Structure 1
Amino acid sequence: MSFLPVLTQTMILFMLILIGFAIKKKNVVTDQMLKDLSGLIMNITLPALIMTSMSYKFSMDMFNNAVMIFGYGAISYAFAIIFAFVFNKIFKTEEPEKGVYSFLIVFPNTAFMGFPILNAIYGETGIFYGAVYNILFNIIMWTLGVKYLTAHSKLKDRKESMLKDFLNPGMVSIFIGILFFLAPFEIPEIINSPLKLLGDTTTPLAMLVSGGMLANIKGTEVLKNKKLYIVTVLRLLTMPILMLFLLSMLPMPEIIRGALVVLSGMPSAMNTAIFATKYNSNSKLASQGVFITTLLNMISAPLIIYLLTKI
């Protein structure tokens, strides 16, 4: 993998974030528009991107690589969970902040940030492996993640709500994509082309929305919370560098190593703020954590990609 072309593609994505930031500051878009666009991405364009990226002709190599992504992805989440536990022990955090910090550390922004960067570096094959990784994300987020953010309350009917929300359009699209992958025939063009056109809008829309959401956070408040600096280092540097070190010692295709490292180094998931609001946790802290990790990802992502090219 050549560093300069990859860096160029990554910086193009971050330019879109800056444009999104600017148009929100200038009130070209409203909060309601950002919310509606976010819903459009999560419910329509991202599922379309996932389905078309998984409509490969079945091969044992792709299947084995997918299993590898799933297995090593589980290891990366295990490390993140341990880091979150140690962080809260060291700083003696209390609920509900404890759950928010854990969520910020454990869950990377695979959909809004990870998929576009994988697409820029590896194309649709990268999205395929990202979708497999995202299965883990959803399973852990709707179990342990919900537990993190509801530990301070006695939420009724939590299991029923978790099951209902788990079967979201993103997860459904992954299951459909798996069927596309396993199907002994090609998906008809009349179905595949509209899905691909929709999916291609995901990257620019996601970057613009990310920038717009950043514009709503007061940076001065974030700077006052020193714990968020540690969270940022753990999420953006410790996790991907640890995964890069471990995976570099194992024989595997470059794209598998790259996808795992890139995804493990993404900023904190925007779901942190969404879920914190949904479950009456500390949504302000959650938004601040998403803000600082997303902002500093503009620096850390090129660094991690550079390290990938040197291994």
Structure 2
Amino acid sequence: MTNLYLVVLCLLIGIGLQWVSSLPKDAPKSLNTYLIYVVLPALALLYIPDTELSLDLLLPVLTAWISFGLSWLLFANLGKRMGWSKATIGCLIIVPGLANTSFIGFPIIEALYGEEGLKIALMVDQAGSFIIVSSIAIIVASLYGQGKKRKRDITKKILTFPPFLFFLIALSMNIGGWHFSGTIHEILSAFAATLTPIALVAVGLQVKIKSDTISSPHLWIGLGFKLILMPAVIFLAYRFIAPPESLIYKVSVMETAMAPMITGSIIAINHDLNPKLASLLVGIGIPLSFGTLVIWNLLVG
């Protein structure tokens, strides 16, 4: 529960800091840059080398890929029909398409299903959400961002994107049976521990809840997809594949039902994909998800 209190507190601190006049206007962007270039690579090097790869975990891992695929399919077509801007479409594909499977997902899954559930959640995050946000989300951001991008430019952006580059290094370490220990492990852990507070403070700095923003149909369509539609898809589809009483099934549904991923919002904001909407999807989605998660937990038993 401590992690959940931390999430809410950091979000409120970020919102409160908006009233500090001496705070630089580009503070959120600076914090996001630190997260992308330092914290996310540290997370990759810390966890992926020690992650046990298993075919049994393919089903929960696939939930992240299914969610992002359906998000891209739905919002690309709906946005085109409704005449939404490319920036809004890109934002809705990326942010609601990715679940907060780590620092919100991990403590909730561990509290509900213990260490065995946490092991499954770790694979969903590392082999699903983390790979997507480090690669495919960058493709979407490039396609829907400002200006026309060449395929060569998009490929270069992915290959030079620090989290993706360090993911490849960490995956190679996993295959080779290498991992960091001692002082290096402690340093990586220290950087990784800053993800939750800094990311949420950055989001809080950009959340401006007004009547015109809270009534935005884009916001509620995105949150409806993330918190209701996608968990319902996995809830119904996976009942025919995995035993409903199994941890595989329960964790798959619950991880899909998590709030939008903060890292996804960072990608959207850094590519100027409707930053206000990206911040609201996370800023409102996180507290709102605490209520919807209770309902999904009752449904999966």
TM range, smaller chain:
0.7 to 0.9
- Secondary structure of the equivalent of 2:42? helix
**Structure 2-normalised TM-score?**
0.78
Q: Which amino acid aligns with 1:262?
A: M
The verdict on how the C-alpha distance between 1:303 and 1:291 changes in structure 2, with shifts beyond 3 A counting, is: same
Equivalent residue in structure 1 for 2:6, among 7, 12, 15: 12
Counting only pairs closer than 5 Å after superposition, residues 36-185 of structure 1 correspond to structure 2 as: 36-56=30-50, 58=52, 62-65=53-56, 67-88=58-79, 91=82, 93=83, 97=85, 99-108=86-95, 113-122=100-109, 125=119, 126-133=121-128, 134-149=130-145, 155=148, 158-167=150-159, 168-185=161-178
Which consecutive unaligned segments of at least 5 residues does structure 2 have?
A: 111-117
Give the CA deviation at 1:55.
Answer: 3.0
Aligned residues of 1:180 and 1:187 also touching (Cα < 8 A) = no
Q: Is the 8 A contact 1:43 1:170 kept in 2?
A: yes
* Alignment of 1:270 onto 2:266: yes
Contact 1:69 1:260 in 2 (8 A): no
Look up the equivalent residue of 2:228 and give its one-letter code.
Answer: L
- Give yes or no for contact 2:99–2:258 (8 Å, CA) kept in 1: no
CA distance in 1, matches of 2:277, 2:51: 40
Does 1:259 find its partner at 2:255?
yes
Q: Please report how far the alpha carbon of residue 170 of structure 1 lies from its aligned counterpart in structure 2 after TM superposition.
A: 0.8
> Hey, which bits of structure 1, 4+ residues long, moved more than 6 A?
109-112
Q: Deviations over 1:4-50 (max 9, x none)?
A: x4xx6434312211111112322463233332221111111222123
Contact 1:50 1:174 in 2 (8 A): yes
Would the aligned equivalents of 1:54 and 1:128 in 2 still touch at CA under 8 Å? no
Contact 1:112 1:206 in 2 (8 A): no
In structure 1, C-alpha distance between the alignment counterparts of 2:297 and 2:219, rounded to whole Å: 29
The SS at the match of 2:18 is: helix
Matched, 1:25 2:19: yes
Matched positions, count:
283
Contact 1:65-1:256 within 8 A present in 2 as well: no
Q: Which amino acid aligns with 1:102?
A: I
Give the structure-1-normalised TM-score. 0.76
Decide whether the 8 Å contact of 1:84 with 1:102 is kept in 2: yes
Report the aligned-residue RMSD.
Answer: 3.2
| Aligned CA distance change for structure 1 residues 65 and 47 (closer, same or farther; 3 Å) | farther
- Paired residues of 1:110 and 1:269 also in contact (CA < 8 A): no
Kindly provide the amino acid, as one letter, of the partner of residue 132 in structure 1: A
2: CA distance between counterparts of 1:287 and 1:186? 37
Q: Measured at CA, do residues 57 and 177 of structure 1 come closer, stay the same or move farther in structure 2, by a change above 3 Å? A: same
Task: Output the CA distance in 2 between the equivalents of 1:85 and 1:17.
Answer: 30
> SS of 1:269's equivalent?
helix
Q: Per the alignment, in what secondary structure is the counterpart of residue 82 of structure 1?
A: helix
